[in-house]
């Protein structure tokens, strides 16, 4: 057992405020609970959140999706379906299939966060063990850090367009190359990098406020661009291209598009509990997901169809992203406003999708040294030094390295969900998630659940083969589902059912919901 001073010291190192107990708990009981947790597994940021004082409402959840769904990457993906030969209604159907599946999967993941109050790296300890959970955290965090850098670079490209529009003379600074980026490119990238670090340094509450501000801005801006394009196209659009798919090929493309839509969110369905651990009620998660996923994605799909169809009608070309349209806006003021909106959007997406996960992953690795703010700075520095623009311009890195790591996310999801919902039936001993002793529920064998790893490895291998081997190209879109399904089935059959599962609240060691 670890003494209370050791836990207090760990929190002091992390720069956290003193722990505050729930009013329903006497101080002696709280002290006893804290004395049993390990500083290797517990600090202010990894601790469960108290039920009282949580701030993430249905609107907070909705604005997560209002921002993330309308990301430039998602527009590029959906417009790509138009380029592949799907028409307007077919694109809407593909996105609708993906939206329904995502709504169900995100609810499963989100409810776990609401009940336990713990972030994803701690949640992973339930199925993988207190040390085995590092596998899941590192995979999720590694993918996120790379994409944080890449998304910041993509945002800096839009920022450069805006700066040159305002000050044409700056174009001279955009012609040289320093480590693959121009002087103006470096200035734009570093500026946006600093902005994101500052926002994250104020914790999850500041991220919640930023998302709440950005959500309506993005919806209004993208709808306005769609209306403008509709008018430019003469009040009608092309509903399909000249190479429209039909029959079996069409339906395979529709279902494949829906499956890829889920795979794009494979990262988010894993660590959604990082956000829902601060949800006010279980119903707020369902309502926020409903308005933010199925309905919001229908709006997104309608905008995609209008943008792609209008541009195709105008000159027979297919855009790659809304930023292509923004650059053609003839009015400088409107161009600048549109660029600002895209910057607000990209920063919002980056914060929630690619910044929060590595912060918790690093905090989980070094709980005695890092807190939310320090881990955020470390994540950002890594995202800078990897020179992400070079990664983005290297198809091998994007497809095989990041794609390979992404293929592991499905099997991880399958094991974690099967363990929580099917094996344990939602019963979790939350305090034991922070205890590094053989008698603790999640110690397993030296901190690793060998059965979970045994289910994870073959499923991951199969998912990677399906994703990358040309012979499986016809079903490669479904690699996430194959990985998740195989891992879940394997674990369901080999899991240890001899354990006695207990449902123990984490309130005795919980902290106020300030992150």
Tens of pLDDT, residues 252-274: 999 999 998 998 888 889 999 99
* Residue 266: predicted pLDDT: 83
| Sequence spans of domains, the chain | 54-394
The closest of 312, 333, 318, 282 to 108, measured between CA atoms, is: 282
Residue 481: CB atoms within 10 Å:
19
User: What integer is the mean pLDDT of 75-97?
Assistant: 90
Q: Are 420 and 430 in contact (CB under 8 A)?
A: no
The pLDDT-based confidence of 6 (bands split at 50, 70, 90) is: very low
Query: Stretch 467-481: mean pLDDT, rounded?
Result: 89
pLDDT of residue 260: 87
Instruction: Please report the pLDDT score of residue 12 as a whole number.
Output: 37
Q: Judge whether residue 178 has pLDDT over 70.
A: yes
What is the pLDDT, as a whole number, of residue 5? 35
pLDDT of 2 strictly over 50: no
What pLDDT does 33 receive? 81
Tens digits of residue pLDDT in 331-366: 888 888 888 888 998 889 888 888 898 999 999 999
- Provide the pLDDT for residue 507: 94
Q: Are 331 and 348 in contact (CB under 8 A)?
A: no
Q: What is the mean pLDDT of residues 212-235?
A: 90
What residues does 120 pair with on adjacent strands? Answer: none
CA distances from 120 to 48, 133, 165, 215, 342 (A): 11, 9, 42, 24, 29
What average pLDDT is seen over the chain? 88
Higher pLDDT, residue 439 or 403: 439
- Residue 406's pLDDT band (boundaries 50, 70, 90)? low
What is the average per-residue pLDDT within 142-171?
89
Min mean pLDDT across 199-203, 222-226, 323-327, 437-441 is at: 323-327
Contact 262, 108 (CB under 8 A): no
CA quadruple 461, 450, 272, 340: dihedral sign: negative
**pTM of the predicted model over 0.95:** no
- Residue scoring higher pLDDT (451 or 17): 451
Q: Which among 83, 78, 4 has a CA at the least distance from the CA of 36?
A: 4
Q: pLDDT for 318-329, tens place per residue?
A: 887 777 788 777
Q: What is the pLDDT of residue 19?
A: 37
pLDDT of 4 strictly over 80: no
pLDDT score of 122: 97
Closest C-alpha to 202, from 351, 62, 68, 71: 351
HEC secondary structure over 174-210 = HCCCECCECHHHHHHHHHHHHHHHHHHHCCHHHHHHH
What is the pLDDT averaged over residues 82-95? 91
Write down the pLDDT at residue 64. Answer: 92
Of the chain, the percentage scoring pLDDT greater than 70 comes to 92
Has residue 26 got a pLDDT over 70? Answer: no
pLDDT at 299 exceeding the cut of 80: yes
Instruction: Select the more confidently predicted residue: 22 or 111.
Output: 111
Write the CA distances from 82 to 36, 67, 296, 463, integer angstroms.
57, 22, 19, 27
Q: Would you identify the CATH topology of the domain 54-394? A: Hydantoin permease (1.10.4160)
Percent of the chain with pLDDT over 90: 58
């Amino acid at each position: 057992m670890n003494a209370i001073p050791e836990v207090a010291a760990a929190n002091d190192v992390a720069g956290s405020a003193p722990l505050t107990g729930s009013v329903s708990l006497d101080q002696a009981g709280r002290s006893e609970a804290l004395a049993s947790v390990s500083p290797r597994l517990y600090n202010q940021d990894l601790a469960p959140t108290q039920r009282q004082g949580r701030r993430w409402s249905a609107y907070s959840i909705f604005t997560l999706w209002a921002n993330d769904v309308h990301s430039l990457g998602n527009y590029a993906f959906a417009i790509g379906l138009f380029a592949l030969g799907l028409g307007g209604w077919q694109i809407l159907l593909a996105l609708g299939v993906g939206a329904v599946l995502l709504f169900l999967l995100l609810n499963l993941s989100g409810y776990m966060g609401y009940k336990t109050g713990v972030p994803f790296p701690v949640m992973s300890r339930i199925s993988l063990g207190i040390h085995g959970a590092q596998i899941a955290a590192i995979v999720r965090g590694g993918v996120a850090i790379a994409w944080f850098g890449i998304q910041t670079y993509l945002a800096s490209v839009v920022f450069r367009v805006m700066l040159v529009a305002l000050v044409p003379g700056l174009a001279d600074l955009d012609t040289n190359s320093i480590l693959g980026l121009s002087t103006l490119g470096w200035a734009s990238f570093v500026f946006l990098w600093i902005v994101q670090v500052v926002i994250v340094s104020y914790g999850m509450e500041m991220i919640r406020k930023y998302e709440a501000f950005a959500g309506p801005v993005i919806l209004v801006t993208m709808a306005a661009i769609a209306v403008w394009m509709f008018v430019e196209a003469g009040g009608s659009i092309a509903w399909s291209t000249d190479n429209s798919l039909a029959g079996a090929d069409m339906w395979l493309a529709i279902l494949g598009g829906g499956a890829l839509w889920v795979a794009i969110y494979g990262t988010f369905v894993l660590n959604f509990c990082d956000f829902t651990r601060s949800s006010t009620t279980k119903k707020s998660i369902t309502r926020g997901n409903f308005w933010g996923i199925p309905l919001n994605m229908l709006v997104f799909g309608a905008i995609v169809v209008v943008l792609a169809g209008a541009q195709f009608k105008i000159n027979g070309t297919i855009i790659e992203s809304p930023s292509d349209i923004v650059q053609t806006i003839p009015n400088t003021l409107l161009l600048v406003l549109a660029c600002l909106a895209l910057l607000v959007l990209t920063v919002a997406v980056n914060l929630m999708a690619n910044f929060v996960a590595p912060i918790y992953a690093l905090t989980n690795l070094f709980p005695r040294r890092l807190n939310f703010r320090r881990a955020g700075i470390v994540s950002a520095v890594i995202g800078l030094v990897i020179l992400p623009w070079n990664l983005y311009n290297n198809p091998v890195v994007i497809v095989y390295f990041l794609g390979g790591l992404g293929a592991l996310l499905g099997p991880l999801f399958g094991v974690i969900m099967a363990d929580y919902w099917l094996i344990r039936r939602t019963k979790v001993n939350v305090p034991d998630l922070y205890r590094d002793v053989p008698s603790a529920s999640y110690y397993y064998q030296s901190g690793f659940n060998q059965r979970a790893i045994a289910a994870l490895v073959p499923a991951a291998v199969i998912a990677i083969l399906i994703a990358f081997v040309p012979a499986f190209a016809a079903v490669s879109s479904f690699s996430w589902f194959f990985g998740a399904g195989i891992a879940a089935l394997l674990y369901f059959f080999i899991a240890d059912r001899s354990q006695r599962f207990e449902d123990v609240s984490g309130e005795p060691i919980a902290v106020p919901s300030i992150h």
